[in-house]
Structure 1
Amino acid sequence: MKNFLNEDFLLETKTAQQLYHNYAAQLPIIDYHCHLPPDQIAGDVNFNTLTSIWLNGDHYKWRAMRANGVNEAYITGNKTDWEKFEQWAATVPYTLRNPLYHWTHLELQRYFGIKELLSPATAKNIYDECNEKLQSPEYSVRNLIKNRRVEVVCTTDDPLDDLAHHQKIKQDGYAVKILPAFRPDKAMEADNTKALNAYITRLEAIFNTSIDNFEAYLQALKKRHNYFAANGCSVSDHGLEQLYAKKSTDLEIRLIFSRIRTEQVLLPDEVEKFKSAMLYHFAVWDHEKGWVQQYHLGALRNNNVRALMQAGPDTGYDSIGDFSQGKNLSAFLNKLEAEDKLTKTILYNLNPADNELFATMAGNFNDGVTAGKMQFGSAWWFLDQKDGMIKQLNALSNMGLLSRMVGMLTDSRSFLSYPRHEYFRRILCNLFGNDIENGELPNDLPWTGKIIQDICYYNAKNYFDFDKVK
């Protein structure tokens, strides 16, 4: 027990320990992609229970509980917060070698000072102690963020969001920048013309105008893009199975849009052409404003239809997909590059089989002007664990420049997830430390330490340039 989660957790050598403690540990955090709810930050919420802040919305934990035989009533159902927590505590001992075991105990230590292992025997004391602390001002969501040395948070926001919560946070003078990110997935979801048509109708209501042709649709969305920029946004994000780069004519897209407005079912070829056209226009707008565009690719979502009908989306029924990525990635990026409209871009993959593909594809489109312009992004979702991080770091090291990576993000809905940055930093320092002690890298700690600090903080600070957002 004395070695588990001690100060040298994951640091296998003296050099790794020096690199982490002397260079990485105290750096601030730039969390440039997450799913934290802006309304809870605007309201500076204090959560009533550990369940409400820790289990609600966390589909990582939900999947583990289901795998452990926990009934859905204790997961997304109507059982009490204590009953749900009790089932989570009973599951945790069975998560050995799952990253949840590390994250759970890191978060208990870092936020609540609790070093006991969570189990049925300790559950009630831990629950009561945490609940009591959560009522204090120190545990309001704004303080939870600020006290982890976070400088910037980018939330994930639909183009139709009025951004009122972000405006309130800014007006309050909160020390941490909470900025929106433009996530237009619903605006191009031509697979479901009924839902997309309803989305367009909502857009009409915002501007009190009729959107009866594709040009009007683009103009309205461009106004939303401008509105986001006026509210501090400089980052876009897309969650897709794969990039789309199907060629089409303007006339074809206009006709497809007309079919959408009458809720006709589109052919697969029409869906792909519409998505391709929308992605292209979004990318051009991002380039015009100098934004950073992010593409999260490869998730196969909502696999369990019966569970989807009962619990809804984003409840833990998604998985890694095996989509063909290379040709579309190349065609999409190449079209933008050929027109000199390719902005800074981060590519995230969900299938580890595609690591080297993504790393080499990013390298095809660096311009020799902006260091690290094209990023192979950090290990994402199911890969956001020790093995996945190491594989991503190794692929980037072998195929590109790890030294120019913009580091880690939480990609989380939980206000207790910031130890994931610590987790990443420890793994990163361990890789460098082992290489130094193996004689694979020179024993130059000042220079290696600088590279580690760049990856953990300074590269992101320079790449996103959030300091210019007032």
Structure 2
Amino acid sequence: MLHEDRLFASDPTQRAIARRLYGEVSALPIVSPHGHTDPAWFARNDAFPDPATLFVVPDHYIYRMLYSQGVRLEDLGIPRKDGAAVETDSRTIWRRFAAHWYLFRGTPTRLWMEHALETVFGVTERLSPATADRIYDQVDERLRRPEYRPRALFERFNIEVIATTESPLDPLEHHKAIRASGWSGRVVTAFRPDPVVDPEFEGFRTNVERLGALTGEDTATWSGYLAALANRRRYFMEYGATSTDHGHPTATTADLSRAEAEALFAKALHGDATPAEAELFRGQMLTEMARMSLEDGLVMQIHPGSFRNHNPQLFTAWGRDKGADIPSQTEYVRALKPLLDRFGNERDLTIILFTLDETSYSRELAPLAGHYPALRLGPSWWFHDSPEGMRRFREMVTETAGFYNTVGFNDDTRAFCSIPARHDVARRIDCAFLARLVAEHRLDEDEAAELAVDLAYTLAKKAYKL
């Protein structure tokens, strides 16, 4: 199924150059500096139970498409918050998925899925209702083998390091177990403080109280609250964290006086903050996190611009991260100015900006990253983690920010078996882009070969201090 020249230009000159460049990077180790795989997989090293649980149930890229065509989430085995009955027969779920596989024509999900089926499980026929049971049986049989357990696949995928993402309230028990096991695989955590810095996050006040209990700090006070956050950051660093991650609705930042911040925190903690005040508090906390990053060295990632849980019925029944997050227009130049006024010129601080608003690439993000020493641009993310999205990113930011104000690629996925596929797509697209520059005599091929390695491996490792 997989053509050796997939994603390369049809022009023979560019295609030949891309092949040579890809040959330099195809076997490089995978650095996965930001993602959402479950650390329990690597701590317990239990076999994945079945094909549907591996591929369908955890992957919102898959079930959001099926939901858009009228397939109920219950029928795909997606667990409900209230524990109500959902489909539990894995083969039935797989058959439903196969019956709708045609929906993924032309999507990156199809690229990732077919790459995983062929290169990991040896499947060489297209998924369809007619082939569903054969493919299910082939994948299911292999999942029972020891070489298909999470740690073995981690090593087979040539993963050098992978970062998971946890709340400050997480005790990191799985990371402790991984460390205690003596396994050589490098799995690190990342600090995601949203539950305790967003007044509109469900259970915010209770979360802040739990933060205080974990740290022994009085989180009813502004100073105690900040001390507790710094404490948890240090704790996460003990388990390998090199980065923080902030999934705010916008890129708004603020730089309030201490008195203003204390008053705003009190309103947020008591549930009295208006939506505008909640947004201001989140903005203040981005600036506080930048200050802490300058002190402790953690790289800061800002992932704004997603209207989370846009479908209230889905959120009520299934909760967060169920395919109902929608990109929204995002402004950066004015939004980031309070933070940049304080920290933008710091050479020892790294803030990686992401966007779901592609219109901001050349107008705002590339000029900002092309000037401020503290800023770098994250790769095409989420809805734009696709061949076309990656091409647009390179075309729109390179002329202003260059390559070295970007940070390579990260897969940002919950779907473990898609990781090699996602990195392979990114490497192929970057090689195709570089091949065009070489063919147009804008870049020498030896420079392109060096860049290909940097984009596939070196930049991510350096930017995330891995």
| SS of alignment partner, residue 354 of structure 2 | strand
Q: Does 1:167 align with 2:140?
A: no
SS in 2 for 1:352: coil
Instruction: Please list the CA deviations of residues 294-313 of structure 1 after superposition, one character each: whole Å capped at 9, or x if unmatched.
Output: 11121111111112112211
Task: Find the residue that maps to 2:281 and give its secondary structure.
Answer: helix
Match of 1:353 in 2: 359
Whole-Å separation in 2 of the counterparts to 1:462 and 1:245: 26
Out of 113, 137, 157, the residue aligned to residue 146 of structure 2 is 137
User: 2:237 matched to which residue of 1?
Assistant: 229
Cross-structure match for 1:118: 127
Identity %: 29
Q: Write the distance in 1 (CA, Å) between the matches of 2:261 and 2:289.
A: 15
Structure 1 residue 341 displacement after superposition: 8.1
Matched, 1:35 2:36: yes
Distance across 2 between alignment mates of 1:385 and 1:423: 8
SS in 2 for 1:264: coil
> Contact 2:251 / 2:305 at 8 angstroms: preserved in 1?
no
Displacement of 1:403 in angstroms is 4.7
List aligned pairs for 1:250-289, cutoff 5 A: 250-261=258-269, 263-289=270-296
Counterpart of 1:86 (choices 75, 95, 103) is 95
Deviations 1:373-424 (A, max 9, x none): 6321110000000111101111221111125532111100111121100011
Secondary structure of residue in 2 paired with 1:460: helix
Relative to 1, partners in 2 of residues 1:245 and 1:210: Cα closer, same or farther, differing over 3 Å? Answer: closer
TM-score, normalisation: structure 2 = 0.92
Q: Report if aligned partners of 1:57, 1:315 keep a CA contact under 8 Å in 2.
A: no
CA deviation after TM superposition for structure 1 residue 18, in Å: 1.4
Q: Deviations over 1:331-378 (max 9, x none)?
A: 32222236x486112111011111112121112202xxxxxx632111
CA RMSD of aligned residues (A): 1.9
Question: Aligned partners of 1:136 and 1:105: how far apart in 2?
Answer: 21
Contact 1:243 1:332 in 2 (8 A): no
Which one of the candidate residues 292, 316, 319 is aligned to 2:323?
A: 316
Question: Residues 90-109 of structure 1 correspond to what in structure 2 (within 5 A)?
Answer: 90-109=99-118
Matches within 5 A, 1:445-464: 445-464=445-464
**Alpha-carbon shift at residue 11 of structure 1 (Å):** 2.1
Q: Does 1:180 align with 2:189?
A: yes
Q: Deviations over 1:202-251 (max 9, x none)?
A: 12322456432111111111111111122221211111122232343322
> Could you say which residue in structure 1 is the equivalent of 2:204?
196
Paired letter, 2:46: V
Question: Is the Cα–Cα contact under 8 Å of residues 287 and 341 in structure 1 kept in the other structure?
Answer: no
Cα deviation, residue 434, structure 1: 2.8
Segment drifting more, 74-83 vs 356-365: 74-83
Measured in 1, the distance between the counterparts of 2:288 and 2:391 equals 35
Q: Is the 8 A contact 1:154 1:180 kept in 2?
A: yes
C-alpha separation in 1, matches of 2:347 and 2:286:
13
1:58 is aligned to 59
**In structure 2, C-alpha distance between the alignment counterparts of 1:248 and 1:402, rounded to whole Å:** 35
Rounded to whole Å, the distance in 2 between the matches of 1:54 and 1:257 is 42
The 3-state SS of whatever aligns with 2:417 is coil
**Structure 1 runs (4+) greater than 4 angstroms displaced:** none
Letter paired with 1:224: R
Question: 2:12: which partner in 1?
Answer: none
Task: Return the TM-score normalized by structure 1.
Answer: 0.91
CA distances 1:237-289 after superposition (whole Å, capped 9, x unpaired)? 1111222323433222222333344x332123432332222222211111112
Partner of 2:254: 246
Q: Spell out, residue by residue over 1:145-170, the C-alpha distance to the aligned partner (whole angstroms, 9 max, x if none).
A: 22111101111111122222112212
Could you tell me how far apart the structure 2 residues matched to 1:211 and 1:34 are? 29
In 1: Cα distance, 2:453 partner to 2:21 partner:
9
2:217 and 2:224 in contact (8 A); partners too: no
- Asked if structure 2 preserves the Cα contact closer than 8 Å seen for 1:247 and 1:273, the reply is no
Matched, 1:10 2:7: yes
Aligned length: 451
Amino acid at match of 2:246: H
Give distance in 2, aligned partners of 1:269 and 1:323.
16
Contact 1:246/1:272, CA 8 A, preserved across alignment: no
CA separation in 1, counterparts of 2:276 and 2:125?
Answer: 56
On the 8 A contact 2:30/2:158 being kept in 1, the answer is yes
CA contact (8 A) 1:283 1:342 kept: no
Give 1:410's aligned residue.
411
Give 2:395's aligned residue.
394
Distance 1:459 1:324 in 2: 26
Among residues 305, 314, 319, which one is paired with 1:298 in the alignment? 305
2:428 counterpart of 1:426: yes
Residues 1:435 and 2:437 aligned together = yes
Q: Deviations over 1:96-142 (max 9, x none)?
A: 11222211111111211112111111110000100010111111111
The residue type paired with residue 395 of structure 2 is N
Structure 2 alignment gaps of length 5 or more? 10-14, 80-85
